[in-house]
Structures are given as structure tokens and as C-alpha cells.
Amino acid sequence: MTLKRVVLQEGDFPSQCTGCRMCELVCSFAHYKIFNPSLSRIRVVTRESELIDFPVTCNHCAEPVCREVCPTQAISGDNNLGTNKIDHERCMGCGECVSACPFGAISIPSGESAPISCDLCGGKPKCVTYCPREVLKLTSDVDPAEGKQVNKETPSQKDTHRKEKG
């Protein structure tokens, strides 16, 4: 199975990300039809001491710790997308997955009973499509521990995602 994830564009990062939080807004709208960053599956983190902003989202790990610690086995793999999916019916909202994620990419929004995590919007991540600075991209086979890309998305694939905005 090829794992896919949303990653930061190589280059002048972190200066490319402006912290506009457009990714958070389009994510929450895609899933809840409301612009609410607390319902987003991607978060922009600000390191004020360094004056940088950067997005954090699920790395769709090959051996996800979140899945291992879930007492109800509510987190499973989606073999088509290579993502983790959360079964909200099975989940008891204990938050073990939130605590276990080394990237801080899972959250339980206020008022919700189960965690949320990036699902790549069914294979066409809205955060990638609508990032005004094109800081985010969809790629395959990234080692999240090292942040190294093994296979990169081709320019024609990137253009296809951008054209879908229209």
C-alpha cells in the first residue's frame, strides 16, 4: 500500500507559510460545512520565539501508534487511500490516540465525542488545493521521522489539484 500524506513544499520553508490558516478553514468547511478552525484536521502552529508558522497534519504512519493504543480498535486503515480512519461508532472518546500521536495530529474538538484526523478529503485534500502560497502538497512515501520524500508528486499531478479549485 502506498501511503500518501500532505507535506510541506520543499524550499524556503518556513518563510513560505504565512500563517493565514486558509488550510484550517477549507478543511473544516469540507467536513462540517462551517468555517471553524477547531473542527479542522490540519492545524497551523505558531512558534512565536522563532516567528514561524507551520501546518501540522496526520502523517498516516505505516505503523500508527494511535491505532495500537486504541482500546476499542476504532482506528483502522483505509487500504484505498493509505490513511487511518476513525469509526466514531466504536470510539469511546478516551483520547488515548490523541496522547499517543507523536505529531499532535489527532484532536477531539470541543463538543465532539470522538477524535478527528486527516482523511485526505477522499484523495483530493482541500488544504493542498486552496493554500494560497502553495506550501502544501500531496505526496507519497515520506518518512515522517526524517521528513524525507521518497517519491514526489509530478508537476502535472500538482496542476490537476490546483485546477479543481475552479
pLDDT, tens digit (0-9, with 9 covering 90-100), for 75-96: 998 888 888 889 999 999 999 9
Q: Cα–Cα distance between 132 and 120 in angstroms, integer?
A: 18
Residue 80 confidence (pLDDT): 83
pLDDT of res. 22: 96
- pLDDT recorded at residue 10: 57
Model pLDDT, residue 150: 41
d(CA 119, CA 94): 20
**pTM higher than 0.85 for the full model?**
no
Write down the pLDDT at residue 139. 82
With beta carbons less than 8 A apart as the criterion, state whether 42 and 118 touch: yes
The domains found in the chain, sorted by start residue, are 4-163 (3.30.70.20)
pLDDT of residue 116: 95
For residue 151, the model assigns a pLDDT of 40
Place of cell 501540522: 56
Enter the C-alpha cell of residue 93: 472518546
10-residue mean pLDDT profile of the chain (166 residues): values are 62 72 97 96 89 88 92 91 90 96 94 93 93 86 47 41 47
